[in-house]
Structure 1
Amino acid sequence: MDLIYAEATPPGRGGVSVIRLSGDGARAAVEKLVGPLPCPRQAYLRDIQMDGETLDQALVIWFKAGHSFTGEEVAEIQSHGAPVIVRRLGQVLSQGGARLAEAGEFTRRAFINGRMDLSEIEGLGDLLVAETESQRRMAVRVSSGELTRKADTWRTLLVRAGALVESSVDFADEDVPDEVPAEVFTLLAQFRRELDDQIAGYSAAERIRNGFEVAIIGPPNAGKSSLINRIARRDVALVSDVAGTTRDIIEVRLDLKGLAVTLMDTAGLRDVEDTVERLGIDRARSRAEAADLRIHLSPMGERDNALWVDGDLVVTSKADLGDAASDLSVSALTGEGLDRLLDTMFDVLSERTAGAALVSHERQLKALLDARAALDGVAELPAELVAESIRHAALSLDRLLGRIGAEDYLDVIFTSFCIGK
């Protein structure tokens, strides 16, 4: 593979900047700058020499092919994080025949060289953008190969079942009867049960990965914007006594005890003639209907029946002005009841993450659904068709891990990575 390089740390000023190289000649390219590097996987403190002068002092390390992240020969220069140093290093490496890596190219090479499968790479991508503990935990499980190991266990079941079926076909005229052994259906039933568990837990896993949406809805001047400002601890929404001030949807991203939550301030719900305000109200209703949870906020503790869904929260606003008309009451002015509201939101949403699967991408879900569908009605099929159904299920597992049919997904997945990864 040709030699590529990139800054693996965020661009700009910093304490340290890591320049990563991968491909044939990575070690030699770095040795031209810092001198001999005898041993792999050992850090050397060296001066970087350019045009007879010292550019910087850096830690340098290299890895043999087959013992690196990409599976190729890899070298890293850990210099001080001055943009001028990074720029000079890039110029010299380019002049020496290396080229700047494309987005996700290091990870793509890890996939091509068999260091990671597609599900692990998707987990790594999720880890790189994780904002909350729940997202991090799930991403680490997938990127470290837990889904891969499950898929390999499922494949073992299919291999055993397939071997039994093939035996019943190939040796039908001998001592093995020409019928599908009962053990085959026991193995396939176990396979389908385990797939069903993952399929059933997809929705919860997908919400952990992408986060929940919570809409604050209610009449004009109910205190929706004041509440979202109080939760955000900054003025993100304009507050006034004029009805209809909020016309567009304002979003605040929260880390709610490890859950990613997008809180939405919406236009006050009422009948109006003003065209622009009516558009804002229509949009508010649409987003509220699609949200995972709605907070029905009003000074009287009322709910909007047209948007009500079991599990929604009814909250009384402006609690500092009078008695609460619902079990939950808050004051955006004093903060009264805010902790209880957030705790209740967490309790409701965390219940929906129970039983979350390892499968959290639509591509992964489709592979499991295809594998399961391949075995529909298999008990009524002759042995030859049972064997073919098992092969189709196994191919779907290979697609899950990217062992076949991965080409359609590679560009989409890897372009979401940063340049140095």
Structure 2
Amino acid sequence: MKQTIFALATAQGRAGVSIIRLSGPDALTALKQLTNKAVTPRTAVFTSLTHEGDLIDEAIVLWFKAPHSFTGEDCIELHVHGSKAILDRLYGVLTRLGLRLAEPGEFSRRALENGKLDLTQAEGIADLVDAESEAQRRQALTQIGGGLKTQYEAWRTALIDILARIEVFIDFPDEDLPTELADSILERIADVEASLKLAIADSQRGCQIREGFRIVILGEPNAGKSSLFNALLKVEAAIVTPIAGTTRDVIEAQLRIGAYSVLLYDTAGLRETEELVEREGVRRARAKGDEADLRLWVVDSSAAGFAGIDPRAGDLVVFNKIDQGSDKLYKSFVRSDVSRETQSLKVSASTGQGVPDLVAAIETVVTERLSVQTFPAATRARHVERLQEAADHLEQAQGTRMRVPELTAEHVRASINSFEALFGRYDVEGVLDVVFSTFCIGK
């Protein structure tokens, strides 16, 4: 029998109310040792919590009777005043009653083990707890609600049906089965593989929403990159001086753009240099630019030219210091071949001129790239790996051309197993340890 666990389900620190969650076979017994008041399932009861005649706190308690609870076990919630003294006292009492402090993610892990949710939904819970933007909230709720599970289950069900049809060829090898049947099986395998490849291609969107859309500011020294970085953040996060090469390393900050979370990076000025530290900063800037989801090229409007930038399709080119000079360089860039498939804007990071237009342009790019969807987007590398594995097995299945039905069936079966691993039903222990280690203690 599993040991009963407990943990703080609300945030650490001083609060008006804190909730301690209990789950396991002895949860109700522990509650009865803390109060003499009768409790009924799903009914909030105001009561005194005592131990050995000592009043611990006046609290509201809730009992969720198994299996109708988050974990599928008897669950108790103690809503107490959120002081450290009360929590410490309750932790000590619960430990003496034979309960133990839960490990990270153990409540969600028990919910998975008891069939209350699958691994993709459990991951959605972790993402919802960590959500900081509206898009992250929506994506996590879709995942908790079974969005990914429904899509993955549809592919798995289709493969099971295909496997059943292949079994006809295995069970009746001497029958003269029509070639059209074999062709239809191969066509259905190809259809599922094509859908998987579309989902894999779309997976970057899910990761960008979950982890943050990466925007890197690039340009030559003294173009005003750090000033623009500060203007976008609306705080003095990066040091700004007239000295070229002030920024030596990559500086990261989080920013909210519309419904999305953005990771904004300030970088060292791009130029050839023999100075060791600055040269390393330039190398890191170029590397970060290569990883970017969007690049902002900053140009000094009063400079002699824009040869120091290397924009690619979809980049934004920002002509800074527009308050200090003319817009001749900007107009020259717009007419040049370099400007094709990029968007150019005029700003002054120091006065704020044009910055709202830049933010609007960034929001448009981020929204366009992250809102287009065919399927609920895979949110983790683990999902992408399993989907790719499933697609690879289906490609191999098609390669058999049904000449050896047993071999075709084995490849389809291996593809099904990839989905079982996604759900946490197959080859799971190592995966579960990694997934749930990222959860907070009370979840």
TM range (shorter): over 0.9
Amino acid across the alignment from 1:80: H
Partner of 1:280: 281
Deviation at 1:36, TM superposition (A): 3.8
Distance 2:395 2:349 in 1: 55
57-66 vs 357-366, greater mean Cα deviation: 357-366
Is 1:343 paired with 2:360? yes
Distance 2:164 2:290 in 1: 50
* Kept in 2: contact 1:296–1:304 (CA 8 A): no
395-404 vs 172-181, greater mean Cα deviation: 172-181
69-78 vs 237-246, greater mean Cα deviation: 237-246
285-294 vs 390-399, greater mean Cα deviation: 285-294
Distance 1:270 1:161 in 2: 59
Unaligned runs of 5+ in 2: 331-343
Is 1:388 paired with 2:407? no
Q: TM-score, normalised by structure 1?
A: 0.94
> SS state of the match for residue 209, structure 1?
helix
Partner of 2:391: 372
Distance 1:273 1:176 in 2: 74
Deviation at 1:328, TM superposition (A): 0.6
Residues 4-36 of structure 1 deviation map (CA, whole Å, 9 limit, x = unaligned): 111111111111100001111101101211224
Partner of 1:78: 79
Distance 1:75 1:234 in 2: 44
Instruction: Pick from 370, 386, 402 the counterpart of residue 424 of structure 2.
Output: 402
Distance 1:104 1:267 in 2: 40
Deviation at 1:151, TM superposition (A): 1.9
Amino acid across the alignment from 1:393: S
Distance 2:308 2:248 in 1: 21
Partner of 2:108: 107
Deviation at 1:281, TM superposition (A): 2.2
Decide whether aligned partners of structure 1 residues 277 and 305 sit closer, same or farther in structure 2, where only a CA change above 3 A counts.
closer
> SS state of the match for residue 405, structure 1?
coil
Distance 2:179 2:323 in 1: 80
Amino acid across the alignment from 1:206: C
Amino acid across the alignment from 1:400: L
Partner of 2:373: 355
Deviation at 1:125, TM superposition (A): 1.6
Decide whether aligned partners of structure 1 residues 253 and 95 sit closer, same or farther in structure 2, where only a CA change above 3 A counts.
same
> SS state of the match for residue 375, structure 1?
helix
Deviation at 1:173, TM superposition (A): 4.1
> SS state of the match for residue 251, structure 1?
strand
Decide whether aligned partners of structure 1 residues 304 and 43 sit closer, same or farther in structure 2, where only a CA change above 3 A counts.
farther
Partner of 2:348: 331
> SS state of the match for residue 39, structure 2?
coil
* Kept in 2: contact 1:165–1:180 (CA 8 A): no
Is 1:248 paired with 2:249? yes
> SS state of the match for residue 231, structure 1?
helix
Unaligned runs of 5+ in 1: none
Decide whether aligned partners of structure 1 residues 17 and 203 sit closer, same or farther in structure 2, where only a CA change above 3 A counts.
same
Deviation at 1:87, TM superposition (A): 0.7
Amino acid across the alignment from 2:122: I
What does residue range 2-401 of structure 1 map to in structure 2 within 5 Å? 2-173=3-174, 180-300=181-301, 303=306, 307-324=310-327, 325-326=329-330, 327-353=344-370, 354-355=372-373, 357-379=376-398, 380-382=401-403, 383-401=405-423
Amino acid across the alignment from 2:318: V
* Kept in 1: contact 2:33–2:51 (CA 8 A): no
Deviation at 1:305, TM superposition (A): 5.7
Deviation at 1:270, TM superposition (A): 2.4
Identity %: 42
Distance 2:214 2:306 in 1: 18
